Amino acid sequence: MGILKPLVSAGLLLAMQGVRAGDFEIAIDMRAVNSDGRKSLLENGEGKLRYDADHDGVQLGRLRAAWDQPIGDVFAVHAEASVWDDDDKNPIDLTEAFVEYRPYPRAGFRSRVRLGAFYPPMSLESRALGWETPYTITPSAISTWIGEEVRTIGLEGQVDWLGTRLGHDFDFQFTGAVFGWNDPAGTQLAAHGFAFHDRQTTLFGRVGDYQSNPILAKKELFCEMDHRPGYYVGAQARYLDRAVLNVLHYDNRADPTVFEASIRDFAWLTKFDAAALRYETGNGWTVLVQELDGQTTIAPGGMLLDWKYDSQSALVAKRLGAHMLAARYDLFEVTFLDNPSLPGSEDGHAWTLAYSWDRGDHWRLAAEWLRVTSDVKSRSAWLGEPSLAIESKVEISARYVFNGSF
Amino acid sequence: MPCPAHFVARRALGLAATLLCAAAGHAGMLEVKALQRDGKPLVGAVITASAENPALPPATPIKAIMDQVNLAFEPDVLVLPVKSSVQFPNSDVVRHQVYSFSSPHRFQLPLYRGKPYPPILFDQPGVITLGCNIHDNMLAYIVVTDAPYFGRTDSAGSWAAPAMPSGRYRVRVWHPLASEPADVEQVVQVGADRDVVQIRLTRGLKPAPLKGRPHSWEY
């Protein structure tokens, strides 16, 4: 995280020179929850949901403040801070903070460079402000995992060919990045598998509650341990404003033999391939399919331990004016390759049904039913519970967004 | 009873007026009906009628506005005579960065709320595609024409020119969703009779930009 603080400070300093007016956005999202979920992974349990049976009732979903500050015409600082009102380290923390260089397009090509902390471009679902999904309250298993464990803290370059601005039907985009400070990515997949929650891990925080068991990892994800940068490369093709196909190959190039005592965790060598396709029709239908396939490895004492994971998701949504209905099906699987019957292996599926209503520019009301069926080996191994669990919840969300320029 | 001399004079005047009118050619009537490939009306098409013989100067330049409202350009198509100027006021609370890399007029214009910028002069004919460097789903067109007569088709796909001099005109049809391999045009002889020129696209239209999707969603 060493790079981030000076970067953000520099951004703030530049911004305070009063170069240009910045844009801000503040959003409060309140929830009413009824859940029969097992003790949540955020409470160091083996449940798949953000709110377990002990967290019924009214909750703060997220209080979010975003700030976009231009520096001259082609540079801008963007920062996202959130309050989640749970047991994380910090009461308020950043999920993203970066400086962006975005020169004007020339002859159909545009380049873009981001430096700081941000999400890799892979989720066609998390397209709303604050890396949220507009279709449901809870994102897919794939997006949940990215929000939980993956963040680019580094440098990303992107080149767009803006064909639609030249009279063609397609745009293309190519992305590449080098990053550090994400060596623990994978630790949560091996520990509790995939999950379904909108609780993005903050840059200086951890995944949920403090882990008091001294032999278990502290669940702090954004840490550089082996001084080996990771990379990803991706491509995107867009057909008019209707269809988007996105592919990404990610490799954090962690040295799996490295152990970092301060966070009680290994460097997890994590690689994955992700693909997503979204198609929208003129009469309000959206179809979105996603696939993630990867492997994560640690080598305590030189002994390689490998987990394979994959998830697929299919969503269908229909907009009717300001109203939207969405249905999603998720499949997920983690396999501890050395012994699939040992903790670390799981498989499951989930159904999500959601309704949302954008009431004017500021209000969004949503309701969601979610049911996860999962067979998690660590439930029986660690907790003595049946490994199979069916968890469901009903959640209502009321969000108010306030934005402006200063 | 009219005096014969007066009568002759009146007739002569009338004849002269007719001749004058014919010489100036203010007798032409032109109506264009634009059709899609399947025969449905082509609504909102830009029609330009350039005088080939006799040559006529472009229409008088105008001052126009291309606003940004709720993360969209308003209007989506502007048609202007050459040497017209366009103001970009930005009615949104957020900033925009309008750009064009179309050959008739390349420009870039950062727009902050409450900070007016001088209008942009468009002195070359052609189609200019506008985008916003921050909001990729913003798209609009400015059609700059040196034709003396131009307009957009109505809901029936029709456009009627005002009274125009008789002569030979090149009538062009342009539409943001057309994907024709070449210019869609027809040369017509405009006379005193009302001519209805029918121009039909040879290829289907591209799907229209999606409507109703919240503009804050990422592209």
A282 and chain B: CB distance < 8 Å anywhere? yes
* pLDDT mean across residues, chain A: 93
**B137 and B160 together in one domain:** no
**In chain A, % of residues over pLDDT 90:** 86
pLDDT for the residue numbered B2: 39
Classify domain A26-405 at the CATH topology level: Porin (2.40.160)
Task: Rounding to the nearest 10 degrees, give the CA dihedral for residues A258, A259, A260, A261.
Answer: -150
CB contact under 8 A, B212 and A319: yes
pLDDT of A3 strictly over 80: no
Residues B148/B51, Cβ–Cβ less than 8 Å: yes
From residue A106, alpha-carbon distances to A161, B100, B122 in Å are: 10, 9, 19
Place of tokens 């014919």: B22
**B116 and B134 together in one domain:** yes
pLDDT-derived band at A404 (thresholds 50, 70, 90) equals confident
First to last CA, chain B: 81
**Which helix (H) or strand (E) segment is A316 a member of?**
strand A305-320
pLDDT for the residue numbered A346: 96
DSSP A345: -
pLDDT of B3 strictly over 60: no
**In chain B, % of residues over pLDDT 70:** 88
**Containing structural domain, residue B139:** 60-146
- Alpha carbons A203 and A149: distance in angstroms, whole number: 10
Interface predicted TM-score (ipTM) = 0.83
pLDDT of B16 strictly over 60: no
pLDDT for the residue numbered A118: 98
- Alpha carbons A317 and A136: distance in angstroms, whole number: 9
In the beta sheet, which residues pair with residue A158? A112, A175
Q: Quick check: helix, strand or coil at residue A128?
A: strand
> Per mean pLDDT, which range of A187-196, A302-311, B188-197 is the poorest?
B188-197
From residue A130, alpha-carbon distances to A127, A153, A222, A368 in Å are: 8, 17, 19, 19
Query: Of the candidates B101, B113, B179, which has its C-beta nearest A107's C-beta?
Result: B101
Read off the amino acid at residue A381: A
pLDDT for the residue numbered A2: 52
pLDDT for the residue numbered A8: 55
pTM score, two decimals? 0.90
pLDDT-derived band at A365 (thresholds 50, 70, 90) equals very high
Query: Of the candidates B70, B101, B139, which has its C-beta nearest A108's C-beta?
Result: B101
**B64 and B142 together in one domain:** yes
Q: Give DSSP secondary structure letters for A63-83.
A: EEEEEEEEETTTEEEEEEEEE
Q: What is the pLDDT of residues B123-162, one digit of tens each?
A: 999 999 999 999 988 999 999 999 999 999 999 999 999 9
pLDDT for the residue numbered A14: 52
Spell out which residues of chain A touch residue B179, defining contact as CB-CB under 8 Å.
169
From residue B48, alpha-carbon distances to A351, B151, B161, B216 in Å are: 55, 7, 9, 36
pLDDT-derived band at B215 (thresholds 50, 70, 90) equals confident
Residue B2 covered by a domain: no
Domain boundary among B94, B120, B146: B146
Spell out which residues of chain A touch residue B139, defining contact as CB-CB under 8 Å.
164-165
**B125 and B153 together in one domain:** no
CB contact under 8 A, B94 and A403: yes
A vs B, Cβ pairs < 8 A, gives 82
DSSP A132: B
Q: Give DSSP secondary structure letters for A227-292.
A: S--EEEEEEEEEETTTEEEEEEEEE----TT-EEGGGTEEPPEEEEEEEEEEEE-TTSEEEEEEEE
Number of domain units in chain B: 2
Mean pLDDT of the A363-383 span: 94
Place of tokens 């020129």: B197
- Alpha carbons A96 and A204: distance in angstroms, whole number: 11
pLDDT of A112 strictly over 50: yes
From residue A12, alpha-carbon distances to A17, A83, A153, B111, B112 in Å are: 9, 20, 18, 22, 20
Q: What is the pLDDT of residues B165-194, one digit of tens each?
A: 999 999 999 999 999 988 999 999 998 777
Domain boundaries, chain A: 26-405
Mean pLDDT of the A278-294 span: 97
- CB within 8 A of B47, min separation 6: which ones? B32, B34, B150, B151, B152, B153, B159, B171, B172, B173
CB contact under 8 A, A282 and B207: yes
pLDDT of B43 strictly over 50: yes
- Alpha carbons B88 and B110: distance in angstroms, whole number: 10
pLDDT of A18 strictly over 60: no
Residue B18 covered by a domain: no
Mean pLDDT of the A351-366 span: 94
CB contact under 8 A, B212 and A106: no
Domain boundary among B146, B171, B193: B146
pLDDT of B17 strictly over 80: no
pLDDT for the residue numbered A382: 85
At B158, which CATH number? 2.60.40
CB contact under 8 A, B131 and A162: yes
- Alpha carbons A191 and A194: distance in angstroms, whole number: 9
pLDDT for the residue numbered A23: 86
CB contact under 8 A, B207 and A321: no
pLDDT for the residue numbered A19: 55
**B127 and B195 together in one domain:** no
**B91 and B137 together in one domain:** yes
**B80 and B136 together in one domain:** yes
**B78 and B48 together in one domain:** no
Structure tokens at A290: 């996603």
**B51 and B155 together in one domain:** yes
Structure tokens at A137: 């309250």
**B67 and B84 together in one domain:** yes
- Alpha carbons B145 and B84: distance in angstroms, whole number: 10
Decide which of B186 and B21 is more confident. Answer: B186
Measure in Å the smallest separation between the Cα of A207 and chain B Cα atoms. 27
* Alpha-helical runs (H) found in A26-153: 141-149
Q: Give the closest residue to A172 by CA, choosing from A188, A157, A159.
A: A159
Residues A170/A359, Cβ–Cβ less than 8 Å: no
pLDDT for the residue numbered A11: 53
Cis preceding-peptide flag for B75 (omega within 30 of 0): yes
Domain boundary among B106, B122, B146: B146
Structure tokens at B175: 């539409």
**B134 and B153 together in one domain:** no
Residues B48/B147, Cβ–Cβ less than 8 Å: yes
pLDDT-derived band at A343 (thresholds 50, 70, 90) equals confident
pLDDT for the residue numbered A303: 92
Mean pLDDT of the A316-335 span: 97
Cis preceding-peptide flag for B54 (omega within 30 of 0): yes
Residue B22 covered by a domain: no
Residue B105 covered by a domain: yes
